Amino acid sequence: MTKTKCKVIINADLCKGCSLCVEHCKRGVLCMSGDLNVQGYNYAVADESKECTGCLVCTLVCPEVAIEVQSD
């Protein structure tokens, strides 16, 4: 299994469920949860078994600034 190089932290309660981050992550790290956040939206989650390269595209496209990426 390939581990993430970088840690993706998503503030689930800020997420509006737009899926932009999921569509733009070339590594398939992000997906939408089936659960709802406090605002009633499905929120994005990171699959830690996938390799995040730290490209930061997800942080740039997120209109809610809900994603932070930390390098190890």
Q: Report residue 19 as tokens.
A: 């899926």
User: 15, 67 in Cβ contact below 8 A?
Assistant: no
Structure-derived torsion over alpha carbons of residues 54, 9, 16, 53, reported in degrees to the nearest 10: 20
CB of 60 to ligand SF4, least distance (A): 9
Q: Which is nearer to ligand SF4, 16 or 72 (CB)?
A: 16
Residues 19-38 that bind ligand SF4 (CB under 6 A): 19-21, 24-25, 27, 29-30
Residues 6 or more apart from 59 whose CB is under 8 A from it? 65, 67, 68, 69
Question: Of 43-62, which residues contact ligand SF4 (CB under 6 A)?
Answer: 43-44, 52-58, 61-62
The footprint of ligand SF4 (CB under 6 A) covers 6, 8, 10, 15-21, 24-25, 27, 29-30, 43-44, 52-58, 61-64, 66-67, 69
